[in-house]
Amino acid sequence: MAIVLGPNRYGKAEVRLVRVTRTTASEHELCDLNVSVSLSGDLARTHLVGDNANVVPTDTMRSVVFAFAQDEPLPAIEEFGLRLARHFVGAYRSIDTARVRILEYPWVRIPATNGPHPHAWTRASGARYAGVVHGPTGTEVCAGLEDVTVLKSTGSEFHGFMTDRYTTLRPTDDRILATSVWARWRHRGVAADWDESFAAARDTMLRTFAETHSLALQQTLYAMGEAVLAEQEGLVEVRMVLPNKHHFLVDLSPFGQENEGEVYHAADRPYGVIEGTVLRDSAPAASAELPWG
């Protein structure tokens, strides 16, 4: 029985990059990125016999990321990922496919005496994501967000579920619903107003979470994805992972107190995890190389 080399790739993971744009002597802009690059192509000999003639060192990948960050101004992370991916495929004969993943961490200006401070920030929660693949079969882009924690104190129910002798969960028609949103959406092409599309998708998701009267977190997930696709024709697929951040009503009766939906225990584990994909029925399948996360 023959033994052969299967699919393979390599790259530089988590290049931490902070770009300061000095608009004026005191007015600055800040961009904080985590960039990962992965390459594949004619690389069999490095695995089989240790011949590195076709290998682009991962140190070179890191240097390219830093050098491209000198662009003025730094583009949206989707465009930055496209520029990097196209460079790696175009510049090195042995490389036929490049995958780029970027997380952008948000910073907001610190309030000062005369308004927002021009060059001081505090780190905000959540992150923006972009994933790009560029290769022989074309170019694809997905975008998204993660670690965006949301909560609604009412407007959520959970009942009518299957029960057996192991079931201890009680049905409820009023509960806290909380989750940390991990979401990705796939673009139809590679020409878009990336910033506008991201802001609109994020706002739509959060608004739908708030306004949907939820009978299950699964229902909320579908409603969020459906709303994003309904509002943006340029998107064809939405994937989400929503961990259920459980809040349990505390029994205060041992202390002679009633608890009418006021005091909760926020449990961190174990937790339920809801995953799902919402897509247009006419959407072409995504490339297996597209980095979703």
91, two tokens: 């510049």
Domains in the chain: ranges and CATH? 8-136 (3.10.270.10), 146-293 (3.10.270.10)
User: From the candidates 28, 46, 58, 117, which is the catalytic residue?
Assistant: 58
How much is the pLDDT for 1?
Answer: 87
Q: Report whether 147 contacts 204 (CB < 8 A).
A: no
Told to judge if 58 belongs to the known catalytic residues of this protein, a careful annotator would answer: yes
User: From the candidates 87, 187, 245, 246, which is the catalytic residue?
Assistant: 246
User: From the candidates 12, 134, 152, 245, which is the catalytic residue?
Assistant: 12
Alpha carbon distance 15, 80 (integer Å)? 14
3-state secondary structure 74-115: CCCHHHHHHHHHHHHHHHCCCEEEEEEEEEEECEEEEEECCE
147, two tokens: 């670690």
141, two tokens: 């882009």
Per-residue pLDDT of the chain (293 residues; tens, 9 = 90+): 899 999 999 999 999 999 999 989 899 999 999 999 999 999 999 999 999 999 999 999 999 999 999 987 789 999 999 999 999 999 999 999 999 999 999 999 999 999 999 999 999 999 999 999 999 999 999 999 999 999 999 999 999 999 999 999 999 999 999 999 999 999 999 989 999 999 999 999 999 999 999 999 999 999 999 999 999 999 999 999 999 999 999 999 999 999 999 999 999 999 999 999 999 998 899 999 999 99
Secondary structure of residue 233 in the 3-state scheme: coil
- Identify any residues that bridge with 240 across adjacent strands, giving them in sequence order: 183, 276
Q: 233: Cβ–Cβ under 8 A, 6 or more apart, which residues?
A: 188
Alpha carbon distance 143, 132 (integer Å)? 9
How much is the pLDDT for 283?
Answer: 87
How much is the pLDDT for 276?
Answer: 98
